[in-house]
Chain A
Amino acid sequence: MSNTQFTPSITSRPVYPGLTSLGNVPAIMIADASGQEALKELAAADSSVMDQAHVLLVTTSPALADKLQDLRPASIETVSDLDAAVPSFERLLSTAKMGTQLYLAGSEGLIGFFSARALGSGLPQEAIQSEHRGPISRRMQCVHCKGVTEDVTTDPFTCSHCGLTLFVRDHFSRRLGVFQGVCVDAEVPGEVPETEEIQP
C-alpha cells in the first residue's frame, strides 16, 4: 500500500504529498497503524532520518512499536488515541528548535489533528510533511454546534453531538484540523439525499 491518491479538489482541501527524508535532523514522527508502514519506507530510503527522531505511535496494538524499534529512532512511545498523544507531543514541541521536522503518516484525522497543534506552537507549515495511509475517513466539524465527529465515512452523516444530518464539504481548516459539515436538509427538513460512501 502507498500514499493515497485523492481526486483534485478546491484549494482549501489539504494534499498529502508523501514523506521524503530530510536526513539526520531533529524530527517528530507520528503515525497510526496504517501510517507506520510509511515510516518504515522512509527509514528504508534513508536510515539516518531516524537518528534524531522521536516517534509517537497511535495504536492499541503494542506489538507494532516493537517492529518500529528496529528502525532505531531516538525514542518511541505508544499511545492509545489522538488525545492521549497530546501531552507527549506538546512536551516534544516545547523543547524543539527551529529546523525540527514533523513527519505525519496515517488517517486524514491524524494528520489534521497534529498539524493544527504544531502550527499553534509556532512550527512553520513548511516543516510539516504528511502521507495519507489507511481508510478514507474524515474528521468533521459541525458548523452548527462546532462538535467534531471522528472517522466519518459517509456523506451525509449524523453529527455525533447535535444530531443534525450534515453533508461533507471539501472545505478544510488547518487551524482546527477538520473538514466542514453543513446541515443537508436545512431548507426542507427531512429531504435528505441518499447516503454514499466518501470517495478519495
Chain B
Amino acid sequence: MISKLNLKVVEIEDLSPLVKRFRFEDPDKAALPVFSGGAHVSVEMPDGEMLRHNSYSLISDPYDATGYEIAVRREDQGRGGSKFMHEKVAVGDILKLSMPANLFQLDLRAKKHVLIGGGIGITPFLSQMRQLEMHGQAYELHYATHSREEAAGLALLPEAAHIHVHISEDGSRMDLGAMLADQPLGCHVYTCGPEGLIAAVAEQAAMLGWPATSVHSEAFTAPPPGAPFEVTIASTGQVVPVAANQSLLEALEAASVVVDYSCRGGGCGRCETTVTSCDGDIEHNDFWLSKEERAEKKKIMPCMSRFKGLALVLDL
C-alpha cells in the first residue's frame, strides 16, 4: 500500500499578498500518481515538537504526473499550519504528502457543470476545469473575490467566455438567481468557499427546484485552534493533552494512539471515534456527523473537533 509520498518543493510563487503557490516533485523525478479533478492532499508539517497536517486542493493538471501544485492562503488566526508553509518552507525542502483523495469529484454524467468558487475556494476548480476541458464537457466557472489585489485565482485562470470573475470591490457581484435559472436538465452546480456562499447557492438552487443531489459543495477548512483540553483513552487510562494550536487527531498521534484518518478536514468520516463518556460539550467542527449524532455526544471526529468540559473518554 502506498500511503505517503516524500516530495521536494521545487517552486514557491506569490500569487497575492496572502497566497503562495507551491510545486512538489519526486526528488528522483519519478512519476506521481495522477488524480481526479477536485482531489486534495494532506501535507505533514513538522514544526518543532509539533506535527501538523493540513489538507489542500491540488490545483495542477490532474493527468500530469510530473508534479503536484497547491495554493496556500496564510491564515494568521489559524493553528499555524499555513504560517508554517509561508514562513518555514523553502525550495529544496522535502515534505510528506498523502496520496490524492477526492471528496469533491465531478459528476461526469452531468450535461453541464456550473463551478462557483469564493476566494481561496477557487482551488479545487482549477484541477476540475482541466479535467472538464480534457473531456470536452460543458461548464462555466464563476470566481468571486473581494478585491483585485487579493484575487490569487486571477493568475491561474485563463481568459475565456465561460470563465466569469466577480470582484465585489468593483461592484461586480454574483447574481446566483440569474446563474442558476435556465440551466439545462442534467446540470450540476459545485460550490467551494465560505460557508455563507455555500449556503446561498444551496438555497437558491432549492428555490428553483433543483434536487439536492445536483448541488455539491466542499467547505474545506483546516482544524480550528481553541482552548487546550485533555482526553482519556478508555483502554489504557492514558491522558492525552491537546494544545491550543493542535488538533485532537494530531495530539493522539503525538501520544502514539492509533486512529485511522484520511482527509483531516472533517469530510470523509474515516477518523470517526466512539465516545465512551462525555462530561462537557464537544465542539463539532466536522461536516460528517448528523445533527442527531452531534446531539448524542457518542461520536467525535478528532481531525476537526474539540472539547470543553470536565472529562472526555474515547473508546480507543
Chain A residues with CB below 8 A from B186, complex form: 98, 121-124
B214 contact from A22, A93, A98, Cβ within 8 A = A98
- Interface of B, helix, strand, loop or mixed by DSSP: loop
Residues of A within 8 A of B171 (CB): none
Judge whether B183 is part of the interface by a CB distance below 8 angstroms.
Answer: yes
Q: Are A122 and B209 in contact (CB under 8 A)?
A: no
CB-based contact B211/A126 at 8 Å: yes
CB-based A-B contact count at 8 angstroms? 49
Q: How far is the CA of A93 from the CA of B185 in the complex (A)?
A: 8
Report if B260 contacts A (CB, 8 A).
no
Q: How far is the CB of A31 from chain B (nearest CB, A)?
A: 20
A100–B213 touching, CB < 8 Å: no
Q: Mark A6-50, 1 if CB is under 8 A from B, else 0.
A: 000000000000000010011000000000000000000000000
Closest to B209 in A: A99
Contacts A96-B185, A97-B182 known; A124 to B209 CB distance under 8 Å?
no
Are B209's CB and A127's CB within 8 A?
yes
CB neighbours of A98 from chain B (8 A): 180, 183-187, 208-210, 214
Q: Are A125 and B213 in contact (CB under 8 A)?
A: yes
Residues from chain B with Cβ under 8 Å of A22 in the complex: 209
Q: Tell me whether chain A's interface is mostly helix, strand or loop, or mixed.
A: loop
Whole-angstrom distance between the alpha carbons of A197 and B193 in the complex?
57
- 0 or 1 for each of B80-107: is its CB under 8 Å from A? (1 = yes): 0000000000000000000000000000
How many of chain A's residues touch chain B, expressed as a range? 10 to 19
A124: which of B180, B184, B208, B211 is its contact (CB, 8 Å)?
B211
For residue A130, CB closer than 8 A to chain B, the reply is no
Q: Is A115 an interface residue (CB 8 A)?
A: no
Q: Are B213 and A121 closer than 8 Å at their CB atoms?
A: no
Q: Find residues 108-147 in chain A having any chain B CB closer than 8 Å to their own CB.
A: 121-127
Q: Is A97 within 8 A of B211, CB to CB?
A: no
A28→B209 CA distance, assembly (Å): 13
- Chain A: which residue is nearest B182 at the CB level? A97
Min C-beta distance of B184 to chain A, whole Å: 7
Question: Is A101 on the interface with B (CB-CB < 8 A)?
Answer: yes
Q: Is B212 an interface residue (CB 8 A)?
A: yes
| Residues on the A chain within 8 Å of B182, using CB | 97
Residue in B180, B184, B212 whose CB lies within 8 Å of A122:
B184
B181 at interface by CB-CB < 8 Å: yes
Asked if B212 and A25 make an inter-chain contact with CB atoms under 8 angstroms apart, the answer reads: no
- Residue positions of B touching A, CB distance < 8 A: 109-111, 180-187, 208-214
Query: A residues within 8 Å of B by Cβ?
Result: 22, 25-26, 93, 96-101, 121-127
If A97-B183, A97-B185, A98-B209 are given as contacts, then 5 extra A-B residue pairs at C-beta distance below 8 Å, sorted by A number, are: A22-B209, A96-B185, A98-B180, A98-B186, A122-B184
